[in-house]
Amino acid sequence: MALIDVTDVDRTRVLTLAHEKPTNPFGKEMAHLFMEAVGKADADDDVDAVVVFGGQDRCFSAGGNFNEARLLATDEAINETIDWCTDLYLSVLNTRKPTVAAIDRHAIGLGFQLAMMFDWKIMSTRADLVMPELEHGIGASMAATILSTACGHDVARHVIMSCRPIGPDTARDRRMVDEICEPEFLLERALQRAARMGRYPEIAFSATKRVLVTPMREALENSREASKAVHRATFGAKAMHKHFDNVLGTGGGQGRGAAS
């Protein structure tokens, strides 16, 4: 089964996350396939914009893959995970073309952070954004970097410290997402927005985007080593392993926010 389904709708490339679990947990393989697909879309002259969707009645992504996360036993493995997570986020920021995230069900931890990288974000009325890391003993250094850069210190502080779900209205009020719509219209709305943005003159759009995303790109690069240190410390403490075992014992490793 492909982890990323690739289709074209007119001149928009649709990347559908297609993990066997409907929660779409990200592991190393899925991350690299996603980055490859985004890179190919960006290089394709027949593609004007990119939409990322979790699939019909599926999560955008409920975070990292706990089957992989619970096996991170060495500093080298933890460092590698932070590197591919950072590169995953940068792959969206570095795309010259318009990118649109279609968010349904849940975007948790890594999934929440990935969603924040897109040029335009549309959230269904039944979706939520969650950063539950701290209550499970997982470091939230990458979340702190991303949310403070995108939304400011106080919003980042509240989201990370509360560990509570953020509904569509609050997410829109905080400018975490740009639009809300009913689930059955989510992909259609994302395609409409992508087509509109894809018609912007290419040079003007890509040059402006490069400036617009520079603070986030620099923040991610500057925090890469600090995030590795945070995760080495928290994984060494093993406080999150009880949570991993609980999830894996009942949910088959769907993942809820690992590697954040």
Nearest to 127 by CA among 70, 193, 189: 189
Q: What is the pLDDT confidence band of residue 260, given thresholds at 50, 70 and 90? A: very low
How far is 25 from 68, CA to CA, in rounded Å?
10
Range 54-61 average pLDDT: 97
Distances (CA, A) of 257 to 99, 106, 108, 150, 234: 23, 11, 5, 19, 14
Q: Is 9 a residue whose pLDDT tops 90?
A: yes
Give the CATH class of 4-251: alpha beta
Reading across the β-sheet that carries 49-53, which strands appear in turn?
4-9, 12-17, 49-53, 99-103, 120-124, 179-181
Contact between 85 and 47 under an 8 Å Cβ cutoff? The reply is no
Q: What is the pLDDT of residues 163-203, one digit of tens each?
A: 999 999 999 999 999 999 999 999 999 999 999 999 999 99
How far is 257 from 248, CA to CA, in rounded Å?
13
Segment holding 17, helix H or strand E: strand 12-17
Report percent pLDDT > 90 for the chain.
Answer: 81
Q: Taking all residues of the chain, what is their mean pLDDT, rounded to a whole number?
A: 91
Distances (CA, A) of 78 to 43, 63, 132, 222, 224: 31, 16, 19, 17, 12
- 121 compared with 67, residue with greater pLDDT: 121
In three-state secondary structure terms, 146 is helix
**Per-residue pLDDT, 70:** 67
Weakest mean pLDDT among 19-28, 102-111, 250-259: 250-259
- 77 compared with 112, residue with greater pLDDT: 112
Distance of CA 164 to the CA centre of its chain: 17
Nearest to 26 by CA among 59, 50, 75: 59
The per-residue DSSP string of 62-105 comes to --B-HHHHTT--SHHHHHHHHHHHHHHHHHHHT-SS-EEEEE-S
Eight-class DSSP state of 132: -
**Per-residue pLDDT, 68:** 74
Distances (CA, A) of 182 to 112, 114, 160, 189: 19, 22, 27, 10
3-state class percentages of the chain: helix first, strand second, coil last, to nearest 5: 55, 15, 30
Distance of CA 176 to the CA centre of its chain: 12
Q: What is the pLDDT of residues 203-257, one digit of tens each?
A: 999 999 999 999 999 999 999 999 999 999 988 877 565 655 565 564 444 444 4
Token readout for 220 is 């991610």
Q: What is the pLDDT confidence band of residue 81, given thresholds at 50, 70 and 90? A: very high
Tracing tokens 């269904």 back to the chain, one arrives at: 124
How far is 56 from 68, CA to CA, in rounded Å?
26
